[in-house]
């Protein structure tokens, strides 16, 4: 699979996840990027992981975090995604889609992120960002900044 196709796949998984959340959240796409896979000699093996983080702009109150996590998890299960791992200390979990996309729901401070990645992608011979997402000048101001009558209450 080429990088372009991988980006489409992870974006589909992310868009689909956000579309399933009600009431809808405000969110921004972070840059799509690549990490090279290397062998024991630190040589590129011709594959990259393609990934993207999405940063939720809506302020989700502590009392609503669990509800949001539940909505997302319910949707992923309904889509036939499989649970890969779960953080028992906080609402954070990883699922994999039948297409091999790894999707993660995570919380850091007040920030909710949903990320997706796909690992067996043909390397274009470099690593780093593929696009800038909704951050033309880098990852400035990722903290949530939009209040919502339901999620922020």
Partner 1 sequence: MDMTVQQLADLNVSALESAKEEWARISSSLEGYGDRVDIHMRRTVGNWTGDAAVKAHSRMERLRNNFQFGAQECALVRAAIDAFIEEIQGSQRKMQDVLDVAKRTGFLVTPMGELVDPAGAEPPGGEDPEAARKRDERREELQRFIFAVLGQAVETDAKYGQILSQLMAERGLKVDGLESQRDANIISKVAAPGLRLDSVPEKGTDPANVRDWWKGMSEEERQEQLALHPDLIGNLDGIPARTRDKANRVNLDRLIDMYPEPVPDDVEERHEGFKKIRNRLIMDAEEEPEPLLLGIGPEGQGRAILSYGDPDTADNVAAYVPGLNTQLGDVGGDDGDRARDVWKSAQKADGGGHKTASIVWLGYDAPQAFSDSDAGTDASVAEEERGRRGGRDFGRFLDGIQATHQGERPHVTAIGHSYGSFTLGQAAQREGGIPADDIILVGSPGTGAQRAEDLGVSPDHVWAGAADSDAVTHAPSDAEKIFGIWGHMTDPHELHFGQDPASEDFGGRRFAVNPGWNPSSHSDYFDRNSESLRNMGKIVSGRPGEVTTEERR
Angle 76-87-153 (CA atoms, 0-180°, nearest 5)?
70
- Name residues contacting partner 1, limited to 47-76 (CB under 8 A): 47, 49, 51, 53, 55
Q: Could you give the CA distance from residue 3 to residue 43 in angstroms, rounded to a whole number?
A: 20
* Segment near partner 1 (CB under 8 A); pick from 19-27, 43-51, 64-72, 73-81: 43-51
* Closest to partner 1 by CB, 83 or 143: 143
CA-to-CA separations, 6 to 15, 47, 77, in angstroms, rounded: 14, 12, 22
Nearest residue to 115 (alpha-carbon basis) of 128, 101, 129, 130 = 101
Q: Would you count residue 121 as binding partner 1 (CB under 8 A)?
A: no
Q: Residues 79-108 vs partner 1: string with x where CB under 8 A? A: ------x-x-xx-x-x-------x-x-x-x
- The residues binding partner 1 (CB under 8 A) are 30, 33-43, 45, 47, 49, 51, 53, 55, 85, 87, 89-90, 92, 94, 102, 104, 106, 108-111, 113, 115-117, 119, 126-128, 135, 137-144
């Amino acid at each position: 699979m080429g990088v372009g196709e991988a980006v489409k796949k992870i974006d589909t998984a992310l868009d689909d996840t956000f579309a399933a959340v009600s009431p809808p959240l405000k969110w921004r796409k972070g840059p799509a990027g690549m990490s090279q896979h290397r062998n024991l000699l630190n040589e590129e093996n011709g594959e990259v992981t393609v990934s993207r983080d999405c940063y939720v702009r809506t302020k989700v109150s502590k009392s609503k975090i669990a509800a949001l996590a539940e909505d997302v998890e319910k949707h992923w299960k309904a889509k036939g995604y499989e649970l890969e791992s779960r953080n028992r200390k906080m609402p954070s979990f990883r699922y994999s889609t039948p297409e091999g996309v790894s999707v993660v729901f995570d919380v850091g401070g007040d920030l909710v992120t949903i990320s997706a990645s796909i690992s067996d992608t043909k390397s274009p011979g470099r690593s780093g960002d593929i696009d800038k997402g909704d951050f033309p000048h880098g990852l400035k101001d990722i903290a949530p900044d939009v209040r919502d009558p339901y999620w922020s209450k």
